[in-house]
């Protein structure tokens, strides 16, 4: 996930919700859950390291999904299964028809051949993916395991989901699939997404992004004998120059980046193609669409200008002028935000007040974007402990303080589910 500064203007906490959270927190069953968490840390670190040793590159999560399905069965979840795209599900029964969903993405950013040298030093573990999303998956497993170890009353049933495709080119495909399936789209009342370490943030606004690969193709040729045919690198450079001059608002915050350019084969060849990758982000769908238009126009104009210029030259030289530009969408994450009266935000903020946990409400791009963009209640929070170096080989996770996040997740789920009689 990537995040932005906090937003202001949060509504007052509702006394009824605060009261319910305080009552739950003082109940003997929740007290024994807290004690149970205290004894589980060795098991949790063990799971976290075991999982991090199983590669899970984008579109290659099957082995890790199988591992998680085994853990779901082992801790006693019902209806454990893996869907068509590789998402892992397990349920815990309740009394209502709609679910409280607890999910964590199982994919990593690391390519399949990345060495997964996972090491432990005391409470700290090191290696790719240990925190993002080892912390999230293990917190989810801890809650699932707890439910079979300590009897906790709740009305709505729980569904636990280890989903694929959160990172980069995965483009939220796991969540997208779940929320395009009527069975889940219509039955998940609240989505609690666990992503990374920590307990100090609440992502309540989905930052949207669109990503493009822009490809320019031309006839190519020899730098000397074919001089004058359109050059895709020159066209791309002109398109970049025009597009980069597009103005963007600070509110709603909107950004763009040209992150990769490629093209050409040798210094004495006119290239046959050149390409770039562009990232556009905003909390507003309208701004994202406006920037996309600007990108398409900049490309069209650069192609047209160069085609005209090449035709002028070819009148004398009789060279082919055929040149084309193409914009391929390689990523599309919808924007969305919670309504100001959303129950899920009231609940997690009341839980934070109860636990004396200072957390900031933020906007970011997470799995929660999908339910948020559909107008459903969803937030993303951390799996506890602390971590750093996400998306690098130096990634680390420290389990100190993990209990706080487990308490926070549990209280939030129980309050959302309501009490069963
Ligand atoms: Zn993540």
> Tens digit of pLDDT for each residue in 50-97?
999 999 999 999 999 999 999 999 999 999 999 999 999 999 999 988
Q: How far is the CA of 133 from the centre of ligand 1 (A)?
A: 5
Residues of the chain with pLDDT under 70: 1-9, 315-321, 420-421
By the 8 A CB rule, do 366 and 1 touch?
yes
pLDDT digits (tens, 9 = 90+) for 378-406: 999 999 999 999 889 999 999 999 999 99
Q: How far is the centre of ligand 1, averaged over its atoms, from the C-alpha of 333 (Å)?
A: 15
How far does residue 73's CA lie from ligand 1's centre (Å)? 24
- If you measure from the C-alpha of residue 169 to the centroid of ligand 1, how many angstroms do you get, rounded to a whole number? 13
334 Cα–ligand 1 center, Å: 17
Distance 313 CA to ligand 1 centre (A): 52
| Ligand 1 centroid to residue 90 C-alpha, Å | 21
The DSSP-derived string for 240-261 is HHHHTT----TTTTEEEEEEEE
What distances in angstroms separate CA 245 from CA 25, 241, 248, one per listed residue?
54, 7, 9
Q: What is the pLDDT of residue 7?
A: 55
Report which of 256, 209, 263 is spatially closest to residue 236, judged by C-alpha positions.
Answer: 263
What are residue 414's phi and psi, to 5 degrees?
Answer: -65, -40
Distance 48 CA to ligand 1 centre (A): 14
Q: For position 315, what pLDDT does the model report?
A: 65
DSSP states of 172-211 = THHHHHHTTSHHHHTTEEEEEEE-SSBSSEEEEEEPEEEE
**3-class DSSP assignment, residue 362:** strand
Of 233, 214, 329, 317, residue with least CA distance to 272: 233
Distance 346 CA to ligand 1 centre (A): 24
| pLDDT at residue 421, rounded to an integer | 46
Distance 347 CA to ligand 1 centre (A): 23
Centre of ligand 1 to C-alpha 134, Å, is 9
Residue 133: exposure state from Cβ atoms within 10 A (0-12, 13-18, ≥19): buried
| Best CA proximity match to 123, nearest among 305, 410, 386 | 386
Ligand 1 center to 10 CA (angstroms)? 26
Q: How far is the CA of 104 from the centre of ligand 1 (A)?
A: 8
- Ligand 1 centre to CA of 232 (Å) is 37
Q: What is the DSSP annotation of 123-187? A: TEEESTTTTTTHHHHHHHHHHHHHHHHS----SS-EEEEEES--SGGGTTHHHHHHTTSHHHHTT
61 touches 106 (CB < 8 A): yes
User: What distance in angstroms lies between residue 306's CA and the mean position of ligand 1's atoms?
Assistant: 43
Q: Which residues contact 399 (CB under 8 A, 6 or more apart)?
A: 41, 44, 45, 123, 124, 125, 384, 385
């Amino acid at each position: 996930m990537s995040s932005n500064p906090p937003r202001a203007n949060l509504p007052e906490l509702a006394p009824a919700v605060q009261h319910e959270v305080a009552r739950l927190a003082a109940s003997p069953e929740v007290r024994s859950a807290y004690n149970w968490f205290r004894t589980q840390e060795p098991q949790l670190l063990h799971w976290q390291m075991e999982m991090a040793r199983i590669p899970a590159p984008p579109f290659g999560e099957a082995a890790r999904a199988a591992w998680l399905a085994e853990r779901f069965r082992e801790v006693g979840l019902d209806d454990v299964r893996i869907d068509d795209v590789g998402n892992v599900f397990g349920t815990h029964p309740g009394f209502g028809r709609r679910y409280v969903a607890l999910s964590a993405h199982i994919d990593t950013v690391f390519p399949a051949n990345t060495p997964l040298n996972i090491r432990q030093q005391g409470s700290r573990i090191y290696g790719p993916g240990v925190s993002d999303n080892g912390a999230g998956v293990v917190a989810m497993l801890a809650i699932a395991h707890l439910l079979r170890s300590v009897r906790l009353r709740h009305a709505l049933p729980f569904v636990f989901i280890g989903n694929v495709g959160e990172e980069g080119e995965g483009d939220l495909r796991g969540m997208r699939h779940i929320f395009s399936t009527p069975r889940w789209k219509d039955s998940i009342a609240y989505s609690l997404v666990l992503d990374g370490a920590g307990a100090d943030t609440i992502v309540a606004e989905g930052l949207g992004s669109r990503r493009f690969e822009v490809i320019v193709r031309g006839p190519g040729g020899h730098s000397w004998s074919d001089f004058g045919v359109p050059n895709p690198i020159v066209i791309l450079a002109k398109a970049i120059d025009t597009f980069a001059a597009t103005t963007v608002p600070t509110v709603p915050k909107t950004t763009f980046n040209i992150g990769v350019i490629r093209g050409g084969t040798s210094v004495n060849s006119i290239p046959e193609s050149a390409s770039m990758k562009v990232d556009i982000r905003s909390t507003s769908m309208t701004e994202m669409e406006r920037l996309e238009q600007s990108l398409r126009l900049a490309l069209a104009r650069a192609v047209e200008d160069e085609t005209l210029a090449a035709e002028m030259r070819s009148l004398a030289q009789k060279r082919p002028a055929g040149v084309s530009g193409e914009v391929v969408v390689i990523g599309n994450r919808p924007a969305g935000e919670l309504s100001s009266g959303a129950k899920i935000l009231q609940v997690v903020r009341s839980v934070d007040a109860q636990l004396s946990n200072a957390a900031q409400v933020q906007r970011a791009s997470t799995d929660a974007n999908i339910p948020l963009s559909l107008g459903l209640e969803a937030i993303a929070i951390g799996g506890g402990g602390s971590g750093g170096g996400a998306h690098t080989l130096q990634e680390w996770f420290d389990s100190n303080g993990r209990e706080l996040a487990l308490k926070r997740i549990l209280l939030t789920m129980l309050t959302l589910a309501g009490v069963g009689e």
